[in-house]
Structure 1
């Protein structure tokens, strides 16, 4: 191929983008799962607390606190519902999935061209694949930078370019810790509040 260097650059861009989009789809589906599960959990907390209060009348000093807690749970449920609807995690994940399948076809096309001797037809096919890549980028939202870092960390020592830096690793693992801690707090906060009330 006369476009050997540009072809290598395009192949690298397609590979990195496809891996990042795979991670973006996975991240969005996890966000969708946890948001929906949190709605179920908070609805269960609210329902159980309401049933308990029907049978066991709280003392006047505790009634305001319990009413406030129920109001907060209801507001969180409403916020989660609105958040889920506005973010459209599942639809966005589906677009990323379609996108990385399109990129896989482009990858296969580039691999096929690499085996052919240079010719005007090969150059024309390369240009067509480059146009397809640009089109795929326009049709799918930009992935998060952490999706790209995740892809490069997963690739490990196999990378020949854009190797992972120490800063990249720190950012990625800090995000993982923050996400894990936030989920524990979100799932456990209502139960912790009930336990604090019971054993105060």
Structure 2
């Protein structure tokens, strides 16, 4: 059923917006964290005797932070998320139309294609998360009414995605502290 395709596309786009907004938040938080640590280490090295290797390394780290901030800004997470939000809001309108008795499916199909062109497509993981989220948010007696439900493979992919994302974020947050500890170990030898 065409209305069902619209509904699932809308759900996937909602997940895509959430992913992009989460990426924007984490990117900003990481930049603040890295900038703070870079400044703190620079102040520390003003008082402590450090090797020229440590000083050069932290200057390079500061330049890297500056470069990464420009790169992250270029990814335009929030702007992309706003376009996706506009898309799924428009999809809600045509979903309502498609559900009506005697709806002009050809006209709605054309409008559907136009709306999809507003923004980038969602990723596969967005659709998989939408499947799992929808399944979990429906009461057990209503789950049988869903036209699609997650398979074991999809549950595993979603779990792997969240585990991989958590590990990557943890590494990114710990990285500058590890770098400082490694530099101190080299300096004290």
Q: Same fold (TM over 0.5)?
A: yes
1:25-36 → structure 2 map (5 Å cutoff): 25-36=17-28
Pairwise CA distance, 1:86:
2.4
Matches within 5 A, 1:174-185: 174-185=160-171
Matched, 1:63 2:52: yes
Aligned counterpart for 2:77 among listed residues 89, 100, 108: 89
Q: Give a deviation string over 1:146-177, Cα, whole Å, max 9, x none.
A: 00000001121356333212221211111110
Q: Which runs of 5+ in 1 are unaligned?
A: 1-8, 115-121
Q: Mean alpha-carbon deviation: is it higher for 154-163 or for 39-48?
A: 154-163
User: What is the TM-score normalised by the length of structure 1?
Assistant: 0.81
Whole-angstrom CA distance in 1 between matches of 2:144 and 2:127: 15
Which of residues 142, 166, 175 in structure 2 aligns to 1:189? 175
How many residues are paired up?
Answer: 179
Q: CA RMSD in A?
A: 2.0
Q: Does 1:136 pair with 2:115?
A: yes
2:126 maps to 147
Tell whether the 8 Å contact from 1:35 to 1:80 is kept in structure 2 after alignment. no
1:78 maps to which residue? Answer: 66
Greater Rg over alpha carbons, structure: 1
Unaligned runs of 5+ in 2: 136-142
Offset at residue 72 of structure 1 (A): 4.3
Q: Is the 8 A contact 2:128 2:158 kept in 1?
A: yes
Instruction: With the length of structure 2 as denominator, give the TM-score of the two structures.
Output: 0.85
2:146 to 160, 182, 200: 160
